[in-house]
Structure 1
Amino acid sequence: MTLAPYVSQQPSGQLRPRRDPDWMVHQLPVQMVAHDFFRRFVSIFQELGTTLLEDADNIDHILDVSVAPPELVRWLGSWISAAPIDEALPEDLQRRMVRSAARTLTWRGTAHGLREFLELLSDGPAEVEDGGGIWRSGDAPADAAWVRLRVASTGQLAVAEFIERIRDEVPAHARAELYVADELVWRSGEDSGSHRSSYGRKA
């Protein structure tokens, strides 16, 4: 896997210049440089060496989801147990999904984490209501394990795919409902393959 050549910034703030394309040829003795055979022969190894050096130049950035190759971005997502990412999705969305999953990992399953995840997938505002809270002994309601999710749209995802991703984020013990544009499209415990709505006719 080869990354595109990258001009990195040094601690001094200066940019590291690109490598001379004939960096290996220019290391030959003057007498050998004058012969076309030696130049062409060394150029073969120079091309191979350049590929290795460019990868080494980029090693500091290979785990940066903003510049890493798309296939590596999806692989990085698997490190943090992110749901598998469809390679057909727009590249920018893939990067944002992994970045958001990493940022909200410690909030996973909470109202805050669900809201951020919904806003990422829908590319718009989201509302999360739940029955959780803190009560004095004996004052807790009989039913607090519920969550209601609302978004204006499913963004760039089909409704069925949107539901599948949300299903993995909702706490297993909680009953969940998902509304898209005020229309109920999913309730936990129901088969996502037969979700209630044909909203946007994406599914």
Structure 2
Amino acid sequence: MLADDFFVRFVRIFQAEAQTLLSHADTLPHLADPRLAPIEMVRYLSRWLAAPGVDDAYGSRAQRLMLLTVAKTLPWRGTRKALATMLELYSGEPAIISESGGVFDQGRAPDGARWVRLEVTSTGPLAEEDFVELVRDEVPAHIGVEIVVAGQQIWPVDGSAASAGRRER
């Protein structure tokens, strides 16, 4: 049978397929680990977790760090802790967060609109519009947002606190 050229080529097709399947089976335990997974899997996991800004434009190291950070902050999403972590990841510098929130006894919460002011020195690798979108996705919808980058307010564009709470898309 080994003398028959057709048979040998035919069997090699199945050997190549089997080798591919075995190779995938050997790497299966590592596919969900962002430090070891192929970069395509990192992008897939990032989309699955709705990680903002993770795309091909960043290097593989940055994409892995973004995925790990998003996964780490997911249980805290919408809180000051998660927002600070995300801002520092993208800006590369500490973020200053001022807010009206807090924990109050029943009936003791202050009146008025809720707000948060975020100050960073840079938007990092993101364009200002993308950075604003990142922040607006992370802050709860009922909170007014002010974003200041390098001393200049970039959101809301008109500078009014009232428009900071609107969620127009």
TM-score bracket for this pair, using the shorter chain length: 0.7 to 0.9
Match of 1:127 in 2: 96
- Within 5 A, what are the aligned runs for 1:40-55? 41=9, 45-55=14-24
What is the CA distance between 1:84 and its match in structure 2? 6.2
TM-score, normalised with respect to structure 1: 0.67
Would you say the 8 A contact 2:142–2:165 is kept in 1?
no
In terms of Rg, which structure is larger?
1
Q: Which structure is higher in helix share?
A: 2
Q: How far apart, CA to CA, are the structure 1 residues paired with 2:103 and 2:165?
A: 26
Which structure 1 residue ranges, 5 or more long, are not aligned? 1-31, 194-203
| Alignment pair present for 1:61 and 2:61 | no
Aligned pairs for 1:95-134 (under 5 A) are 95-134=64-103
1:71 maps to 2:37: no
Pick closer, same or farther for the CA change 1:43–1:111 going to 2, 3 Å.
same
What is the letter of the counterpart of residue 149 of structure 2?
V
Deviations 1:9-64 (A, max 9, x none): xxxxxxxxxxxxxxxxxxxxxxx7xx8x7xx7565544333222111110001111
Alignment match, 1:155 = 124
- Corresponding letter in the other structure for 2:66: M
Partner-residue secondary structure (3-state), 1:150: strand
How far apart are 1:137 and its partner, in Å? Answer: 4.4
**Identity, % of aligned pairs?**
43
Query: 1:111 is aligned with what amino acid?
Result: R
How big is the shift at 1:191? 9.1
RMSD: 3.0
The one-letter code matched in structure 1 to 2:63 is Q
Residue 168 of structure 1 aligns to a residue in which SS? Answer: helix
In the TM superposition, 1:1-203 aligns within 5 A as 41=9, 45-83=14-52, 85-143=54-112, 145-187=114-156, 188-189=164-165
Is the alpha carbon distance of 1:137 and 1:48 closer, same or farther for their aligned partners in structure 2, counting shifts above 3 Å? closer
Q: Which has the higher contact order (CA 8 A, sep 6+)?
A: 2
What is the deviation of 1:177? 0.8
Structure 1 residue 111: deviation in Å? 0.5
Count of aligned pairs between the two proteins: 161
Task: Please give the alpha-carbon distance, in whole angstroms, between the structure 2 residues aligned to 1:136 and 1:81.
Answer: 34
Contact 1:74–1:84, Cα closer than 8 Å, also in 2: no
Q: 1:192 to 1:63 in 2, by over 3 A?
A: same
TM-score (norm 2): 0.78
